Structure formats: structure tokens, C-alpha cells
Amino acid sequence: MSHELQFYIDGAWVEPLSTATLDVIDPSTEEAYTKIAMGSAADVDRAVAAAKAAFPAFSRTSREERVALLQRILQAYQARYQDVAKAISQEMGAPMQLAMQAQAGIGVAHLAKMIEVLGKFEFDHMQGTTLIAREPIGVCGFITPWNWPINQIVCKVAPALAAGCTMVLKPSEIAPIDAIIFAEVLDAAGVPKGVFNLVNGDGATVGQAISSHPDVDMVSFTGSTRAGILVAKAAADTVKRVHQELGGKSANILLSDVDLRKAVTKGVTGCFGNSGQSCNAPTRMFVQADQHDEAVAIAKAAAANFKVGPPAAEGTVLGPVVSELQYNKIQRLIQAGIDEGATLVTGGTGRPEGLNRGYYVQPTIFANVTPEMTIAREEIFGPVLSILPYKTEEEAVSLANDTVYGLAAYVQSGDLDHARKVAAQMRVGTVQVNYPAMDIGAPFGGYKQSGNGREWGEFGLEEFLETKAVVGYGAA
């Protein structure tokens, strides 16, 4: 049975209390292919009540019970793996190879890592005669985005379950189908009723109701900085914990001793991946001024390898961006780059040749970008790279840090000690040195307007715990 027009509340698929629906658009065709129910504050009340009722019993389950639950979820997720990948490909435009390997795959990675973390995590320890206990925070509200949809769902739900919390999820209404499948996964795995609840809807209604709800103890939000501010304001009156992973404008510093061809080519790949729709994408490439022209030529050649096309088409590397709204924003910012005098190296406004429908964006590179230009300051969230020349290393560090964001930075050097020295100066939550392999256990989150708190692995689990001191616990 299809559950697009239902919500998952208190262990069952239920009819919404409102009649509103929303078309789900395939960004490769610009056509609706299904509808979802859109929730109301009353639906949120129902879901929160179920989570609140389930919390006392679930919070007292043993580590072993929660490990076993996560293992069953992982097994059930793997059984639906292809369904998740196909849903993500259709709802947000990811090419099938990306959807299968990365988008759906990272759900497996987060679940496996949380099983490992929970098996050895120390919830309690003695400090003299005082017991320091780490306890689940309570009912959690999750508001997740469309760009890496299952990633952001699982990296919240898995640690919350590991901690013993209960929860209400509002996934992105733009890419909601993978979340419905994930709710089916949790149901199949035997998650106790009320522990996990799903209510679809928009931010202004369901997101607001979750953020402001007096019985929600913590809200975890991933999305734009603008929306994150609204979540924090809505949560303020109830003094709940607010965890946010927000926007980014990540710098990629290529030091003068770098292998330029390798560094630029990988930098282009990092920027364009997922059609540029990653909050930590290295969108500002800083190159030594006397290497600028060579770097530009390498970048232009690299961009030619990024075939744009329908997600299911053979050879497609970049699919469409997620929506008309996103497409129009990217077009506006590309035009701003042209109007403000940056050198358009490749790409530009409009769809790629041969594509007259779908939200397809040309892979675009600008050179001779200066720090005050709009494309160097605003988060574009599309396949658009800005190349900025610098004269000294100190200038590169200063310019890289000169942003309201602080999610990620990238440092490339032929000398690891040199790269480490520069990495230490970056005001960001994650620095990637010489394009390393992903570390699913590393803390993920930002400084400044990129948010607060951390996700992934042990650091993600800690976000869902309160600290209690039992003084005199060990007294004779």
C-alpha cells in the first residue's frame, strides 16, 4: 500500500487531520508524479503526544536492546536499498549511480557506524563519589532538507534511537518519498510504537509547530541559515535545545607547492558533485596569482567531463537541480557574476544544449573573481565554481575566513606539514586536507552562521544526551 497520503504516528499509518496535499515534482521533467499529504499543527500535536507517551519506556531500554534495534533497522534498510535510491533519483534528480552509491549508501554507513558507537559508548562514569550520567534528552523534532535527504534523516534518527530518545520527523516536502520508505523500514524493523513518527508538511506550518511545541525537548534542523534562524526563534520561548546544520560557502585553498592539475581537477569534482547541491561544497577556489591562468585552463578542461542529463540516462554525471525555485536562484547568481565583471570561463545562464525541459544548469566556472562579488559571498547551491587569485598565503587565509559561514574548508599542498599549518587557521567545523576519504565518524557541523552542534558518530550521539550529576552516589 502507498503511504504518500498518510502519516506514520504511534506505530501505524494514519489519515491526516487536514485535507491539504502537495504535488511532488520530478525535476528532470518538471511534472508531478505523485502527491503527499500536508500536515497541520494538529497532526504535529498527535505525533508529539505519541512520542511523549513512548519516551518513559523507550528511554529505559538497555544498550543491548537498542543495538539490536539498530541492527534490525540496518537489515530492513538494506532490503529496501534500491527503493530508497530510486526515490531519491526521481524526487531530487540525482543520477542513478550517485543515488545508488552515495545518496542511499550513506544511510547504511550512518547506521553501521552508530551500531559500532553505541556498543562501546560510556553513558556513565564516576567522578570521585559523584556519578556523572548521560541520559536521553527526550522528545526530539527533526526538520530535514532535500539535497542529501536520507543522509540527514539517518544521521539524526540513528543517534536519537541509540540515545533512547523518541522523535517526530518532518522531511523536506520537495523530496519526501525516501522518508516515507524509511518510515516503512522502521516499521518493518519493529521500532516500538510512538518512538518514531513522521508528519509531512511545509516549514511554515509543520516545521513551526515542531519548533515551538512545548513537549518537544530538542529540535534538530538542517537547511538554510535563513530558515534556521526562524527555527531558533520559534524554539526560544520553550528554551529547548536547538541543533542546526546550516549554509556554507567553503573555501578551497591551493597552496603554491600543490600538484596543480590534480588539485584543480578534484576541486572541480568536489564543487560540481550532486549538481552543486551540497552545503560543504568547495565553491571558492583560491589559487596563487601566478598560477591563476593555468588553474583556469585545467578547470575548464575538467568541467567538460561533466555531462548533464536525465538521471536515468547512460553517462549522466549531473542531473537537474531540485526545483524551479532553485533553478531560478542559480540563474540569477550566474547573471550576477557576469554583470559584476567576473570572467565566465565555461557554462553560463540557461539550460545546457539539447535540454529544453527540466531544471538543468550548465556547469559554470568563473575566473578573476574578487571577494566582494556576489558569487564569492552568497551560497549558490548549484554547479558554479569561483576561482579567486591571491598574492600571499596570509591573504588566502584571511579571504577564506572572510565569510559569515564556517562549515568546511579544503587545503591542498604537496607538503603535509604546510597544509596542517594552514588548516589550523581555518574558522570552520571541518577541514579536508588533500581530498581525503570520507570519515563517517568525524564530527560534522559548523562555526558562525553555519550552525551549532555536531552530527555523525559519537559526536552525533552526544547531542541527544543530557548530563546528570548524582552527588554522593559512591559515598561509603
φ/ψ of residue 147, rounded to 5: -80, -40
Q: Domain locations in the chain?
A: 7-246+451-470, 251-439
Question: What pLDDT sits at residue 1?
Answer: 62
Fold assignment, 251-439: Aldehyde Dehydrogenase; Chain A, domain 2 (3.40.309)
Residue 237: CB atoms within 10 A of its CB come to: 10
- pLDDT (mean) for 369-395: 98
Average pLDDT of span 452-467:
98
Grid coordinates given for 306:
561533466
Mean pLDDT computed over 148-159: 98
| pLDDT per residue as tens digits for the range 231-255 | 999 999 999 999 999 999 999 999 9
Q: Which of 185, 170, 199, 167 is nearest to 37 (CA)?
A: 199
> Any residues with CB less than 8 A from the CB of 462 and at least 6 apart, and which?
134, 454
- Write out pLDDT tens, residues 181-230: 999 999 999 999 999 999 999 999 999 999 999 999 999 999 999 999 99
* Mean pLDDT, rounded, for 405-431: 98
Q: Identity (one letter) of the amino acid at 418?
A: H
Sorted by sequence, the CB contacts under 8 Å of residue 95 that are 6+ apart come out as 89, 311, 316, 317, 318, 319
For the entire predicted model, the pTM comes to 0.97
What is the percentage of the chain residues whose pLDDT exceeds 90?
99
Residues marked active site are found at 245, 279
**For all residues of the chain together, what is the average pLDDT?**
98
- Residues 6+ away with beta carbon under 8 Å from 333: 374, 375, 378, 380, 382, 384
Whether the pLDDT of residue 476 is over 80: the answer is: no
* Fold of the domain spanning 7-246+451-470: Aldehyde Dehydrogenase; Chain A, domain 1 (3.40.605)
Residue type, 125: H
Q: Name the CA radius of gyration of the chain, rounded.
A: 23
pLDDT digits (tens, 9 = 90+) for 256-303: 999 999 999 999 999 999 999 999 999 999 999 999 999 999 999 999
Q: What is the pLDDT of residues 105-142, one digit of tens each?
A: 999 999 999 999 999 999 999 999 999 999 999 999 99
